[in-house]
Structure 1
Amino acid sequence: MTATVSNFSYGAVTPIAAYLMACLGAALGLRCTTRSLRRPHHKNGWLALGAIAIGCGIWTMHFIAMIGFSVQNALISYDTTKTLLSLAIAIAVVAIGVFLVGHRGRSPMTLATAGTVTGLGVAAMHYVGMAAIHTTGTLNYDTMTVVLSVAIAVAAATAALWAAVSIHALWASLGASLVMGVAVTGMHYTGMAAVSVHLTGGATTAQSSTHLLSFLLVMLAGPLMVLLIAAGIVMFDPDMMLSDDDWDRAAPAPHGTGTAHPVQQQSQPYTTW
């Protein structure tokens, strides 16, 4: 028997919260990548932080959205190892893409390679996370919808990596993060639209819902904490306190013309990002 599947058991709460997490991870990643380009002596540190922020944002988006996933008359649980593996995949593949464009620039070949690898990795994260589901039935996928979700993931990853090395202004990067949030969340719900469940046994969902929610909240606690720490670093690190115009004025002048130290520019307006 094919069960009724819902991705919105809590209404609009889970998709909105998931979207906001995707936007937060994207925004932090963009700002970190911007600073890696402006502060080459700290490049790898900023790129690593950006990759962690984007990866945690994507993974957190996925599992917040999964809180709203339910199968009528079926019990749902998650395999802890596969759930954590999906987090590791998310961070690793984003790191590959971010480091490629961070060190090799935004040439079409670099962007295509990095975007494809990252997009396929994000899709892998999604479907490994889905493989972690244990239920009283079998999950089936519509092939064409899965292919569409993978294509969206590759397109979103490529656009995100392009934005990371091309958009430096604060408000432009925030706007880009909102668009990236739509793309990443859209990929998730496209992938979920491919899912159908064929029941092979009965279960009492009332006994499982509290335990399931508790498990997901525990899993989410770590990545959420990482995102908060990353946000604190981005907002309060001295490199972040000057606006882009301030950094341009504070940048070393051509040889022989003297330099301006950032401290001398403190009369200029600040921005927290």
Structure 2
Amino acid sequence: MQGTIDGYSYGLITPVAGYIMACLGSALGLRCTVRSVRSGRRMPGWLALGAASIGCGIWTMHFIGMLGFKVRETAIGYDGPLTLASLLFAVVSVGVGVSAVVYRGTRLPVLLTAGLFTGLGVAGMHYTGMAAMQMEGTVRYDPTTVAVSVLIAVVAATAALWAAVSVRGLSAAIGASLVMGVAVTGMHYTGMAAFSVQLHTHTTAAAGTGSTAVVLPTLVGALAFLIVAGTIVVFDPLLILGDDEADIDRRVPSARR
């Protein structure tokens, strides 16, 4: 029996909320990366904060979307360790990519390699999060749609890494984060379109822990982190005094020719 999938059980609430969180994480990450190039010995700390902000934003978008995902004939549970592993995928892959372009610049070979690694990591986050779902059925994915979702992730990651060290000014960062939010959300829902489930003959409650027991506490933690990161960025003295764009251009590796 084919399961009836509803990815928008709360209407537009979950897609819009997820998009906003993806934009917020991207905007914070971009600002942290700009801070890093002027912070001297504090550069690793700012890079880590930026990577965690982007990674948490992407992961939060994914699981807000998952809150609206239902298979009408069966309950869905979540495996806790796999759910947390998906968050780790996002943060680590973004951290490696951002560090590569900050320290090595955005020359094409570096950018493409870092974008590929980060994009595959983001796709890994998505499908690890999907693997955390537990239900009474056999899950299948359409290979073509999966490939398209991975391609979107790689392209989005490459653009995001370029923007991280190339975008200057608050308004430009906001614009870039809005575009990145569209890409991340598009990748998520493309991946979800690849999903189908063949239900078992006798469906019962899912074996894993329910979504409210696993996903909601983790989402609260990720949201709390983004609030803390936003507070750090807002009260950073460099932001209060204003960016010296010429000084940043002299110090970012991507400005080298």
Is TM > 0.5 for Structure 1 vs Structure 2? yes
1:42, distance to aligned residue in structure 2 (A): 2.0
Instruction: Encode CA deviations 1:19-59: one digit per residue, 9 max, x unaligned.
Output: 00100010000001111123333211111100000011111
Question: Matches of 1:218 and 1:41 in 2, distance apart?
Answer: 34
1:121-270 aligned at under 5 Å gives the runs: 121-200=121-200, 201-203=202-204, 211-244=210-243, 247-248=244-245
Question: Matches of 2:33 and 2:40 in 1, distance apart?
Answer: 11
Please, which moves more after superposition, 17-26 or 213-222?
Answer: 213-222
In structure 1, what is the equivalent of residue 62 of structure 2?
62
Secondary structure, aligned partner of 1:51: helix
Overall identity of the aligned pairs, in %: 56
Check whether the contact 1:102–1:165 (CA below 8 A) recurs between aligned residues: yes
Larger RCO (alpha carbons 8 Å, 6+ apart): 2
* CA root-mean-square deviation: 1.8
In structure 2, what is the equivalent of residue 50 of structure 1?
50
1:42-121 aligned at under 5 Å gives the runs: 42-121=42-121
Please, which moves more after superposition, 65-74 or 35-44?
Answer: 35-44
Secondary structure, aligned partner of 2:37: helix
Check whether the contact 1:73–1:203 (CA below 8 A) recurs between aligned residues: no
In structure 1, what is the equivalent of residue 254 of structure 2?
none
Question: Matches of 1:69 and 1:220 in 2, distance apart?
Answer: 16
In structure 2, what is the equivalent of residue 256 of structure 1?
none
Question: Matches of 1:69 and 1:150 in 2, distance apart?
Answer: 20
Gapped runs of 5+ residues in structure 1? 252-273
TM-score scaled by length of structure 2:
0.92
1:108, distance to aligned residue in structure 2 (A): 0.6
Instruction: Encode CA deviations 1:232-269: one digit per residue, 9 max, x unaligned.
Output: 0010111221222xx258x6xxxxxxxxxxxxxxxxxx
1:72 partner letter: R
1:204, distance to aligned residue in structure 2 (A): 6.2
2:16 partner letter: I
TM-score scaled by length of structure 1:
0.86
In structure 2, what is the equivalent of residue 7 of structure 1?
7
Question: Matches of 2:119 and 2:245 in 1, distance apart?
Answer: 33
Check whether the contact 1:148–1:190 (CA below 8 A) recurs between aligned residues: yes
1:2, distance to aligned residue in structure 2 (A): 0.6
1:60, distance to aligned residue in structure 2 (A): 0.6
1:86, distance to aligned residue in structure 2 (A): 0.6
Secondary structure, aligned partner of 1:38: coil
Check whether the contact 2:26–2:181 (CA below 8 A) recurs between aligned residues: yes
Instruction: Encode CA deviations 1:77-99: one digit per residue, 9 max, x unaligned.
Output: 00001000111111110000010
In structure 1, what is the equivalent of residue 255 of structure 2?
none
1:203 partner letter: T
Question: Matches of 1:107 and 1:71 in 2, distance apart?
Answer: 45
Check whether the contact 1:73–1:204 (CA below 8 A) recurs between aligned residues: no
Please, which moves more after superposition, 138-147 or 36-45?
Answer: 36-45
Check whether the contact 2:76–2:205 (CA below 8 A) recurs between aligned residues: no
Q: Which structure would you say has the larger Rg? A: 1
In structure 1, what is the equivalent of residue 32 of structure 2?
32
Question: Matches of 2:155 and 2:211 in 1, distance apart?
Answer: 32
Question: How many aligned residue pairs are there?
Answer: 246
